[in-house]
Structure 1
């Protein structure tokens, strides 16, 4: 959890943190704008119920960053301390390793100027998964702020420029858009960003905007492995199937022209799913199997026995591996909804990243139901979506007046009907295509 608590000195603050820790099963907590010097920090942290901690003390009555964690985080190493961020190396109890930067940006534009340059330099030295989050005290888009004040919030152009040129993307959120509110002004000042490698390491990560507690900032709850019930997906034709040597024969054997269209389509899609599981197989599994076989053949070649046979076998395995790589690239290009011919046949990393971002953007984890409450129950979300679209496309029964129409239409003679009903031959298709021109 990352939270701008705007101070840590109230009597009820330790009890509130302990309750949040218990309710959300927190392994790591970052508190921003702690407004606490070194002596007060060490005394107050001891009452919050965490085993380990590190911090940047406040300067007077402004700033301050605390990071606290329990045994769920196996190792935390402080890599850099900056006035406006704390850069850490994280290793979880499951041995997942990544970098994390906790940010508390200055509320003044000029004070933030050095922050964006420092983050740019920091990113250039990071080689691995990276997450950064906190209070950036700035917005990127116009929709992320709302005010009735004459001199309201404005976009921080330097923040926008850094975001556009960096290799990070917004992880999105569940819950209300705005994370900060004061009077009639509200904005999304707090956010969580990550690079593509971190998104691949935690594809099911979710960021939730929690309710306001004692602060005018919402806490951000980051769940690394938020698993939801996987909905039953409709059938989709996988473009990589056409590259398989057996697919042409499969189509010939299973598409029966004598069947009625609806029955034929249902039967064919069912057989496609079976063929995909039993013959085409899982691409990642096939790739790993071929790599293991090639490793075994290389070891046999080192022993020097039956060299000609193993060299031929290795050449065939390499050919099969190349085909699997092309199929994998095509599969992820299809999932990413991009033209793979533009980006290259082997740019699987790009396609994988785009597909994951698209999947995350399309996922609905919560909706606001009647009464303004946020609902996270998947069954309720399904029911509300069904009810909404059913009412949207349902028309109230009413008597419609007949439209005056004096037009008459000629009947089609028997010869024309027979022409319309006859089968379309290849010559007719060719002539139609030639009419269109180049």
Structure 2
């Protein structure tokens, strides 16, 4: 499958191996040329492995720990990016420490991030089914995604990525791929006289703003809808009986998430209103009355 789809980089979590043998890695990678970086497992838990094609993905810097590997690289001809392979701890406190470490490392690795792996955390209550612990650390994870300007790529066909094999009743979406939305203005390199460069940059910015309207603004709307649905479910339960301690904590977490998402939505509408005022003047009022 890797060869058929022309995969340049593979991120693997939970190798569960204290040592990574080259023969094992070659059995995974279908191409002749190969570079790799791994983190050994702690006993039978954890372990990370990154494999890449050195002609298509040139690593210029890297760092790692027990829970992550960062590969600063040049992909293709000139695209500079950082691939981040993550295996987050099960403990919520240790996960919070991991999130803080990644935020701090962003300063040293400023290129756009592509971060994937097993985060051992959900973003919404709807991403977990049949599990008693539903809310711990959810806000911390969403805060990480917001601060790093990451976009959560949606899944196709499936809702969950993990299932308890013993009874098949517990499901979660704890694995995902997150992409950074880099400023189009910053990454554009235009040649020519000053006015021409400005014109090209503005044209590129216009395209990016249209994409931002769909991907970022629409993404907030989807997050808010999911959070409000989760809160509605808990409110219905609260009307029927007293909530358990876990359910009460979940309700408190989700209410905070709904409030934060409403604030983000208001901020985005404010930005839209300023853009429309600059373009349409008094027509801005008509825009809001038509909503």
Common fold by TM > 0.5: yes
Query: 2:160 is matched with which residue?
Result: 178
Q: Which residue of 2 aligns with 1:357?
A: 215
Q: Does 1:133 align with 2:116?
A: yes
- Displacement of 1:143 after TM fit? 1.6
Shift of 1:95: 2.8
Quick check: 1:96 aligned with 2:75? Answer: no
How much does 1:60 deviate? 0.7
Q: Which runs of 4+ in 1 moved over 6 A?
A: 198-201
User: What do the CA deviations read for 1:283-321 (whole angstroms, capped 9, x no partner)?
Assistant: x9xxx7xx63x37xxxxxxxxxxxxxxxxxxxxxx5x98
TM-score, normalised with respect to structure 1: 0.42
Offset at 1:105? 0.4
Match of 1:188? Answer: 173
Q: Work out the CA distance in 2 between the residues paired with 1:99 and 1:118.
A: 15
Aligned to 1:22: 3
- SS of the residue corresponding to residue 137 of structure 1 reads coil
Q: CA deviation at 1:48?
A: 2.6
| 1:30–1:325 Cα change, 3 Å | closer
1:358 Cα deviation after fit: 5.8
The answer to whether the 8 Å contact 1:86/1:103 transfers is yes
Say which one has the larger Rg: 1
1:166 and 2:24 matched: no
| Map 1:250-329 → 2, pairs under 5 A | 292=192, 294=193, 318=195, 324=199, 328=203
CA contact (8 A) 1:139 1:188 kept: yes
- 1:155 offset after TM fit, Å? 4.2
Change (3 A) 1:44 1:357: same
| Residue 83 (structure 1) shift | 1.1
SS in 1 for 2:123: coil
Say if 1:123 and 1:353 are closer, same or farther in 2 by CA, change over 3 A: farther
SS in 2 for 1:159: helix
* Distance across 2 between alignment mates of 1:101 and 1:79: 10
Structure 2 counterpart of 1:276: none
Q: C-alpha displacement at 1:85, in angstroms?
A: 0.3
CA contact (8 A) 2:82 2:114 kept: yes
Mind listing any 5+ residue stretches in structure 1 that lack a counterpart? 1-19, 202-283, 296-317, 336-348, 362-438
For the residue of structure 2 that corresponds to 1:66, the secondary structure is: strand
Q: Is the 8 A contact 2:61 2:73 kept in 1?
A: no
Structure 2 gap ranges (5+): 220-291
Please name the residue that 1:110 is paired with.
93
In the alignment, structure 1 residue 65 sits paired with structure 2 residue 48:
yes
Shift of 1:28: 1.5
Q: Which of 17, 33, 38 lines up with 1:36 in the alignment?
A: 17
Q: 1:321 to 1:76 in 2, by over 3 A?
A: closer
State the Cα distance separating 1:154 from its structure 2 match.
Answer: 2.8
Alpha-carbon displacement from aligned partner over 1:267-290 (angstroms, at most 9, x marks no partner): xxxxxxxxxxxxxxxxx9xxx7xx
SS at 2:27 equivalent: coil
Q: When the two structures are superposed, what TM-score results if normalisation uses the length of structure 2?
A: 0.61
RMSD of the TM alignment (CA)?
3.5
1:196/1:353 contact within 8 Å kept: no
SS at match of 1:94: coil
Contact 2:92/2:136 (<8 A) preserved: no
Question: What is the CA distance between 1:66 and its match in structure 2?
Answer: 0.7
Q: Distance in 2 between matches of 1:76 and 1:167?
A: 23
Alignment size in residue pairs = 211
- Quickly say closer, same or farther: Cα 1:28–1:325, change in 2 above 3 A: closer
Partner of 2:227: none
1:84 to 52, 57, 67: 67
Deviates more, 1:78-87 or 1:23-32: 23-32
Q: SS state of the match for residue 22, structure 1?
A: coil
Counterpart Cα distance in 1 of 2:5 and 2:217: 25
Question: 1:153: which partner in 2?
Answer: 134
Matched with 2:28 is 48
> 1:338-377, aligned counterparts within 5 Å?
351=209, 354-355=212-213, 357=215
Counterpart secondary structure, 1:140:
coil
